[in-house]
Amino acid sequence: MIPRLRHMKRASLSAAAAITVAAGLLTGLSTPSQAATQGPCDIYAAGGTPCVAAHSTTRALYANYNGPLYQVRRSSDNATRDIGVLSPGGFADAAAQDSFCAGTTCLITVIYDQSGRGNRLTQAPPGGFSGPAPGGYDNLAVATAAPVMVGGHKAYGVYIAPGTGYRNNSTNGIATGDQPEGMYAVLDGTHYNDGCCFDYGNAETNSRDNGNGHMEAIYFGNNRVWGYGSGNGPWIMADLENGLFSGVNQRYNAGDPSISHRFLTAIVKGEPNHWAIRGGNAQSGGLSTFYNGVRPNVSGYNPMKKEGAIILGIGGDNSVGARGTFYEGVMTSGFPSDATENAVQANIVAAGYATTSSGGQNGTLTPGSSISLRATTPGYTDRYIRHQNDVAITSVITSSSSTLDKNDATWIVRSGLANSSCVSFESRNYPGDYLRHQNFHVYRQRDDGSSLFAADATFCPQAGKNGQGTSFASYNYPDRFLRHYNNVVYIASNGGSNAFDNAAHWNDDVSWVVSQPWA
């Protein structure tokens, strides 16, 4: 065993960083892949309401599906790679993504349609609103930002930050007009906001607001502008265009509860003058019905005028202010029965969605959440990133540490100042101060509003290089990662002319666990 002091001199001690992300960064387990005997779309087909779109980055949604789930593109050379399943009907091959994306940032460019109808989701184009990417397109999701476990296997969800969105305006078989349809989505019930609009479902084919009744999509969040349920939210509602509906009334439905399971099943379905909202815990139990009745008592929604585009993470007019995390979802032809949906819920629960938080280290990278970042280097796992005299270091922090030390080791996650698909870390006890690098050293400094500061203070999460937690790539130096070395925090490359670029223990030193905040 390497003596603690010696290790401090040669490889890194900045222990801190707990980044298990708002989705929970996971380590892969080596359990064998097993094909499903039945997938959600097999269940819908048996119920007479077959899937016409089936999207998932975590698993196959048909028992025999053996094609790609999604595609990633790496920033180092713009090469792309399809990520498939470990076996027919099985779980995502996350190791293929990790290998392909090692040492760089990957974005999710395509979410494939497993139904065979070609209804894939790609980067959303501009519409009534423009996105932040070149040409007014929306951003693409960082491929490693929403890690989870499914069936004991590592997988990645689709982490939607404001400005991120996917769409298909030219679909095949999706309901139009007043035709019946159903849809479900498995979401992160703790990752949401009140922006418009985190949707999955049926929307306009020209990316614009074409009037009441031109959409029918699942909405999740705590927006109260158009409608809301009981409590403070978040709620499952239906985005029917020009209205988020929780029931028959335009505004309030007491029967639509606040619901925030870590893994959430959300359902919306509709047919002529009849629609419903259902939901439940995607890890256990059954579904509850939150509304089941006639169309809203506002003109324009009966009959419906659905257009048949598919959206994810945005509104029908490309409103891009929302956040959320998507794992899987489908759209059907026909109005599914409750019994069919109950069987689908049982299948989702059996899939085994889970985070890999251990030892109470279950902080998230959800913007607005408070976290502490714990080191994973053997012998230094009691050290956390903290600031001291404006310098970022690592220190041993325990329950008996002083209030000052605990505050110094607590950070508020913010959407990346330079890129909302990444993150920035604001000091808990110095609001307006952020972790930023300067000459490769990391400091706590006041945001001066400059584009340089924003870039220096933005870090893009990836799967932990040592298989634990999360590693954070510098936004403007993507081959450099937050690293502790001799108790000081740097952005470091794996090998280089600086002492803190030492390749020894690099994988450990750049891997952090996102933990519960100390303060």
Cα radius of gyration (the chain) = 23
Q: Which residue has the tokens 């239906």?
A: 238
- Token duo for residue 344: 């689908």
Residues 6+ apart with CB under 8 A from 116: none
- CA–CA dist 426, 234 (Å, integer): 25
- CA–CA dist 513, 31 (Å, integer): 23
Looking at the DSSP bridge assignments, the partners of residue 332 are 51
Task: Give residue 155's Cα distance to chain centre.
Answer: 12
Are 27 and 148 spatial neighbours (Cβ–Cβ below 8 Å)? no
Catalytic residue among 113, 181, 209, 317: 317
Q: Which residue has the tokens 């909202």?
A: 277
The amino acid occupying position 29 is: L
Closest CA to 234 of 274, 279, 270: 279
328 has catalytic annotation: no
Name the burial class of residue 77, with classes exposed (0-12), middle (13-18) and buried (19+) by CB atoms within 10 angstroms of its CB. Answer: exposed
375 φ/ψ angles, rounded to the nearest 5 degrees: -70, 150
93 φ/ψ angles, rounded to the nearest 5 degrees: -90, 75
Residues 6+ apart with CB under 8 A from 400: none
Name the burial class of residue 289, with classes exposed (0-12), middle (13-18) and buried (19+) by CB atoms within 10 angstroms of its CB. Answer: middle
- CA–CA dist 194, 224 (Å, integer): 7
Catalytic residue among 93, 241, 341, 433: 241
- CA–CA dist 371, 373 (Å, integer): 7
5 φ/ψ angles, rounded to the nearest 5 degrees: -65, -40
HEC secondary structure over 391-450 = EEEEEECCCCCCHHHHHHCCEEEEECCCCCCCEEEEECCCCCEEEEEECCEEEEEECCCC
Cα dihedral angle (22, 256, 56, 166), rounded to 10 degrees?
-80
Residues 6+ apart with CB under 8 A from 260: 189, 190, 192, 234
- CA–CA dist 487, 15 (Å, integer): 7
The amino acid occupying position 95 is: A
390 has catalytic annotation: no
Residues 6+ apart with CB under 8 A from 380: 4, 7, 12, 13, 15, 394, 484
Closest CA to 61 of 173, 53, 46: 53
Q: Among all residues, which ones are annotated catalytic? A: 241, 317
